[in-house]
Copies of this chain bind each other. A is one copy, B any other.
Amino acid sequence: MQVNFDIEKPIYLQIIAEIQRALVRGELNPGDKLPSQRDLAQEMKVNHNTIQRAYREMEGEGLVETLRGMGTFITQNPEIVKQIRVQMAEESIDRFLAEMFSLGLTSEQIVQSVTVRAKKLEDRGEAQ
């Protein structure tokens, strides 16, 4: 697991995004234990408070559960993966539409372009 020290996004949000991606990819599953705050901090070369911020934020969203003295675990709710998938898709769509609108395209043009291109890529087998 890696973070980019880019200027754009706070580290703790990048950590959350990493964990969500790992969940969506199935590398992390409901019930799994996350690395301890101190271990992950050392591994990622960030302060343990930054990891804690990320973990606490995820706890607030119901993504993880923390058992004092035991560690932090992915919530034992099989729905979370689906929920994250939906959330990530929505973010992706909104980011995309913002880009397209800023280029001056209308809804109709966008839908048209996406339809054509998605069909083409799917036929080529680029959709796994």
Residues of A within 8 A of B (CB): 4, 6-8, 24, 60, 85, 88-90, 92-107, 110-111, 113-115, 117-119, 121-122, 126-128
Tell me the complex Cα distance, A127–B7, Å: 27
Question: Assuming A114-B114, A118-B110, is B103 touching A96 (CB within 8 A)?
Answer: no
A101 contacts B127, CB within 8 Å? Answer: yes
Chain B, Cβ-Cβ closest to A127: B101
Which listed residue (B94, B106, B118, B121) contacts A117, Cβ 8 A? B94
**Docked CA distance A103–B90 (Å):** 11
Residues of B within 8 A of A89 (CB): 100, 103, 105, 113
Q: Report copies per complex.
A: 4
Chain B residues near A90: list those with CB within 8 A: 117
Main DSSP-derived SS at the A contact region:
helix
The interface residues of chain B lying within 8 Å CB-to-CB of A97 are 114, 117-118, 121
Top-7 shortest CB links A-B: A96-B96, A101-B127, A107-B118, A6-B6, A107-B122, A92-B99, A111-B115
In contact, B122 and A103 (Cβ under 8 angstroms): no
Residue of B nearest to A95 (CB): B96
